[in-house]
């Protein structure tokens, strides 16, 4: 009984899940790009590439290009383009910007 309790307490270790495109599910965008942790709101893998929601005021100049290179680099691909997505509700997360990153 004690062995079962100890094994249950350990929980699941680091994930080995792989996202579409062969990307490890656990990714440290802050180390791979120039985006500071407090500027990133959401990073999501989409069918076209990546969607990034971040706060430009809390990021250095050109940080969106650095993030795009880092995210496309996870797939061993180059950046094809970066598109700004208009905010439907700018009051939902004041100061945040949405960009779609397309990898070649």
5 assigned to some structural domain:
no
13: in domain: no
Say whether pLDDT at 90 is over 80.
Answer: no
Structural domain includes residue 77: yes
- What CA–CA distance (Å, rounded) separates 27 from 80? 21
Query: Is residue 3 in some structural domain?
Result: no
Q: Is residue 65 part of a domain?
A: yes
Domain membership flag for residue 87: yes
pTM > 0.95: yes or no: no
Which of 35, 16, 36 shows the shortest CA–CA distance to 26? 16
Q: Which residue has the higher pLDDT, 48 or 18?
A: 48
Domain range for 42 is 20-103
Cβ(54)–Cβ(67) below 8 Å:
yes
Residue at 12 is within a domain: no
Our count of domains for the chain comes to: 1
Closest to 79 (Cα-Cα) out of 19, 33, 18, 22: 33
Q: State pLDDT tens for residues 38-61.
A: 888 888 888 888 999 999 999 988
């Amino acid at each position: 009984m004690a062995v079962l309790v100890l094994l249950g307490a350990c929980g699941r270790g680091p994930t080995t899940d792989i996202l579409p495109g062969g990307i490890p599910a656990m990714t440290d965008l802050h180390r791979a790009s120039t985006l500071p942790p407090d500027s990133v709101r959401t990073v999501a893998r989409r069918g076209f590439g990546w969607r990034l929601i971040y706060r430009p005021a809390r990021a250095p100049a050109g940080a969106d290009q650095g993030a795009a290179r880092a995210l496309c680099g996870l797939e061993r691909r180059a950046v094809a383009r970066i598109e700004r997505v208009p905010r439907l509700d700018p009051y939902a997360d004041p100061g945040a910007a949405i960009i779609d990153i397309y990898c070649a």
